[in-house]
Amino acid sequence: MKKDIKDIIQAKAKASLTNMLLNDEGIKKNIVILPVLKDLIRSLDNDEIGQLKANILANGCQDSLKIWQTTQKVINPDSATNKEQFVLIDGHNRYKICTENNVSFAVSIMKFQSLDDVISWMIDLQLGRRNMSPNEIAYYRGLKYNQEKKIEKTDNFSSIGTSLRTSQKLAEQYGINEKTIRRDAEFSKGVERLSPELKRDFLNGNVKVSKKDIEELGKADVKEKVSTIEAITTYITPKRDVQAPKVETIVPLVITNKSEIIREKVKNTNDFDITVKISGRFLVNNELVDIWKDLRGIPKETLIDESFEDSISIHQAPILGLIKEL
């Protein structure tokens, strides 16, 4: 049964939010903005920013800014010090407008155990906002899937069990199927590989790129942020070219009496004296990637593409139906 995302956010907020609104100037002067959290905030276009600014200047900042009270080591375990930190987790646009225009604002303190918990809460918050485009919804659902999977892996769950449980849980929560959730995860990875400017313009609908291309970008080996639409094709076109079927010339064996001798001798060989090579192209073209990963115990996150190679013994191949019996 589909759950209301707003109910989820409210339940988490109720458990975390301190009832008292704070006006402590010391806290407000020491607010920390983490880029990893700021990047989660849905970007507003110029009209939306203008409307928000006009409203704040006319009526003041009506809603308190949400602050995560924590320490440096919780944010970064490798930190040399453990000073108390007040991290902004909701209200980044309002904070910027208020500080630039000397407008007073209140803060509310929230408690979380870890940075991952904050990220998960912030993603839920974005998904609960109104007027989200389909691409924005898919992006944040994908972020949620990848974040939940990351958290569960740190709790020592196997990768296979984690992937299944996460996709089922989120599919039920958002009222969609598991395949859509997994596609959203690839889509989200692709969006994250865009430069901040291109990411904003894409999610705001100012530039047009197919969702499929962004999903393919999420699977590609990208070393740096992609800043132009044209650059996207340089990462996904080679992969598509490789996937195109190729016509190969196969020289047939000449069947002789010696062939029969070899055939008989093969039955007495050790398991891996003779192997059958399994190409990634074969697995991709026959939609066997996930099955092959399970069969061979390959981690789910491993990329299997046309460059992938594996091998099994000549005796295992007939069992799988890959070749006829010896």
List, for residues 165-197, the tens digit of each pLDDT value: 788 888 888 888 888 998 999 999 999 999 988
List, for residues 248-286, the tens digit of each pLDDT value: 555 555 656 676 677 677 666 666 567 888 888 888 888
What are the φ/ψ torsions at residue 84 (nearest 5 degrees)? -65, 140
List, for residues 143-173, the tens digit of each pLDDT value: 999 988 887 766 544 444 444 578 888 888 8
Domain 1-114 has CATH 3.90.1530.10: yes
Q: CA–CA separation, 186 vs 180, rounded Å?
A: 10
List, for residues 54-112, the tens digit of each pLDDT value: 999 999 999 999 999 999 999 999 989 999 999 999 999 999 999 999 999 999 999 99
Please report, for the chain, how many H helices and E strands are present, in that order: 17, 7
Q: Given this model, what pLDDT does residue 161 score?
A: 46
Task: Report, as an integer, the average pLDDT of 114-126.
Answer: 93
- For 101-138, b/e burial (b = at least 16 CB within 10 A) is eeeebebbbbebeebebbbbbbbbbbbbeeebeebbbb
List, for residues 74-86, the tens digit of each pLDDT value: 999 998 999 999 9
Does residue 243 surpass a pLDDT of 80? no
Q: CA–CA separation, 44 vs 3, rounded Å?
A: 27
Q: CA–CA separation, 90 vs 68, rounded Å?
A: 9
Q: CA–CA separation, 148 vs 181, rounded Å?
A: 12
Q: Given this model, what pLDDT does residue 64 score?
A: 92
Q: Given this model, what pLDDT does residue 158 score?
A: 42
Give SS3 for 88.
Answer: strand
List, for residues 6-50, the tens digit of each pLDDT value: 666 666 655 554 434 444 677 888 999 999 999 999 888 888 899
Closest CA to 305 of 233, 248, 243: 243
The beta-strand segments (E) located in 141-182 are none
Provide the pairing of β-strand 65-71 with 107-110. parallel
Report domain extents, the chain: 1-114, 132-244, 257-319
Q: Given this model, what pLDDT does residue 92 score?
A: 95
The reported pTM is 0.63
Q: Given this model, what pLDDT does residue 282 score?
A: 85
* CA angle at 31 for the pair 25 and 34, rounded to the nearest 5°: 175
Provide the 8-state DSSP code for 138. H
